[in-house]
Structure 1
Amino acid sequence: MPDHSSPPDSEITLPRLLGALSDPTWIGIVRVLSDGAERGWGQLCAPVAKSTLSHHLKVLREAGVTQTRQEGTRCYVTLRRETLDARFPLPPAGAAVRGGRRRRRRARDPARRAGLTAGTTPPGGTGQAAVLRAADR
């Protein structure tokens, strides 16, 4: 019998969680499960083969996003919302985020400072000396 256990709460890491949400199919499964209802694997209408759906659910389960319960020959999946909310709390919607705009770093490349892009010729000719003259203007 396959192991359908989810990792303990303390082993759920943010990189694994974000990795488990990096595929559109995985996000779609999470969206379907976000209402809190337990769903059987057959109720998840994903546009993939059953073996591929099984892999997708395994990735989500091993990352700690979902929990799978087996009952006879059927498996049921739920979203571990309370665990994820407790482990990775988000600020309330509309809360101000500290920081703001970062200052833009100046380009170190003289051609970039001169506003040149690939395929353009600096005024005054080509070559490094002309680029440096254009940067000094």
Structure 2
Amino acid sequence: MTTAAPATGSRDLPHPERGEIRLEAVLHALSDPMRLQVVRELAADGDELSCSDIVLPVTKSTTTHHFRVLRESGVIRQVYRGTAKMNGLRRDDLGDLFPGLLDSVLAAAAGQARRLGSG
């Protein structure tokens, strides 16, 4: 991936450009239950959520890792708004590159959660 590192003192986070997003990276990001939970919560909200709005049953450093994997794969976009790091799904980018993928994964995850009684 050829993403630029943030400028010194900058709070911009590196993201892949639309054309750099790779299917295998997206599938890898979505394969982890914690990251899939993040994506499901962002999809349910339909807008942006701060990292603190999404509570995962893991340590803060592990949560940070999961958000980074999602961002670097192109699944989410993270931006700072004041002191909050806001997260939003890159629905348009993913939909254009991989039509139906995100909706299929979200539907499958919802069905699994119902089947397993976990959501």
| TM-score normalised by structure 1 residue count | 0.62
Q: Greater Rg, structure 1 or structure 2? A: 1
Task: Report the AA paired with residue 25 of structure 1.
Answer: M
Alignment correspondent of 1:134: none
Contact kept? 2:12, 2:80, Cα under 8 Å = no
- Percent of aligned positions that are identical: 40
The superposition leaves residues 22-81 of structure 1 with CA deviations (integer Å, 9 ceiling, x where unpaired) of 111011110001132200110001111111111100000000000001123220000111
Letter in 2 for 1:84: L
SS class of match (2:52): helix
Mapped to 1, the partners of 2:69 and 2:52 lie a distance apart of 17
| Aligned-pair CA distance for 1:16 | 0.6
Taking the TM superposition and a 5 Å limit, the aligned residue runs for 1:68-83 are 68-83=78-93
Q: How much is the aligned-residue C-alpha RMSD, in angstroms?
A: 2.0
Q: What pairs with 1:33-112 in structure 2 (closer than 5 Å)?
A: 33-35=42-44, 36-90=46-100
* 1:26–1:60 Cα contact (<8 Å) kept: yes
Q: Which runs of 5+ in 2 are unaligned?
A: 1-8, 105-119
Q: Distance in 1 between matches of 2:41 and 2:84?
A: 19
Count of residues in Structure 1 that have an aligned counterpart in Structure 2: 93
SS in structure 1 at match of 2:100: coil
